[in-house]
Amino acid sequence: MTILNLDSLLTFLHPRFRGRVVIVGIGNRFWGDDGAGPELITRLEEKWKLYESESHARRFFVDAGESPEDWFIRILDLKPEVIIVVDAVDFQAEPGSIAILEPEALPESLCFSTHRLPLKSLLQLWGRDGSKTLVLAIQPENLGFGQGLSPRVKRSIERLVELLPHSDTERLQKLEE
């Protein structure tokens, strides 16, 4: 399995990256840590809406829930250069671990009950239109019904919200800390 460095993700989200980026959260909030993708999208939207003018028409957030394939055409219509899918993925690591995966790193059969189409297939279809695709994978701890996010996955989401810059000013401040 190919795991990329977090810098790969930060490059596409950096304010100076002028390309269109769509960040898609996948998962079901009722199934424990499977809701990590939608939760991160909600948190990033809240943080970045204050800086909308800096990234106007270049960063798009989609909470695709448990049916990302329903968003397929709408996402292509945005003509993104990069599509980043955020999902709970069991990549055999400590709960709450974060990995940046290229589509080739995903097994063909990776398809949880909340997805009708395997994630690898969906990413490959988006990629055929010329978009670079990545998966921001969060290792789940608990996928039980009605249990909410586990503490370790919540901490990982908080860490990602802090790490992902929405402005050059914020990125500079983080480097100085």
Domains located in the chain, CATH noted: 3-176 (3.40.50.1450)
- A 10 A CB-CB count for 15 gives 17
Could you report how far apart the first and last alpha carbons of the chain are, in Å?
33
Q: What is the pLDDT of residues 17-66, one digit of tens each?
A: 778 889 999 999 998 899 999 999 999 888 877 665 555 568 889 999 98
Burial of 101 (0-12, 13-18, 19+ CB in 10 A): buried
138: left (phi over 0), alpha (psi -120 to 50) or beta: beta
C-alpha to C-alpha distances, 2 to 34, 40, 151, nearest whole angstrom:
22, 23, 27
d(CA 76, CA 73): 5
- Residues of the chain with pLDDT below 70 are 1-6, 8, 15-16, 50-57, 107-116, 165-177
DSSP 8-state assignment for residue 81: S
137: left (phi over 0), alpha (psi -120 to 50) or beta: beta
The reported pTM is 0.81
